[in-house]
Amino acid sequence: MLVAFSVSPMDTGDSVSHAVSEAVRVVRESGLPNRTDSMFTTIEGEWDEVMDVVKRATEAAGRGAGRVALVLKADIRPGHSGEIDGKVARVERLLGEGGSAG
């Protein structure tokens, strides 16, 4: 499964960069395939291992905060792996061929 999530502590001031970096550190140390962009971190793995990482990342980002916001989107597709890169590669291939990616 792929899980894209965004976690942000609330009531901690203007910048959440430090808290978000702690969450991303948990993800990267998990060893699961992952990618972080300006809005979400995406991780790939089995249900239990992915949800454990999301939980630990949320806890890390929320240290010292009275409240944490979590946005999560999942693509659950049993029997498939490598989709963190595969989905993007298929779209890029279509764009390179001049075909329709939609």
Domains in the chain, start-ordered, CATH in brackets? Answer: 2-97 (3.30.70.930)
Predicted local distance difference test score (pLDDT) of residue 97? 87
| pTM (predicted TM-score) | 0.86
Average pLDDT for residues 50-63, to the nearest whole number?
96
Q: What is the pLDDT of residues 80-94, one digit of tens each?
A: 999 999 999 999 999
Long-range contacts of range 56-61, CB-CB < 8 Å, 24 or more positions apart?
Answer: 56/26, 57/5, 57/7, 57/23, 57/24, 57/26, 57/27, 58/7, 58/23, 60/19, 60/22, 60/23, 60/25, 60/26, 61/7, 61/8, 61/9, 61/16, 61/19, 61/20, 61/22, 61/23
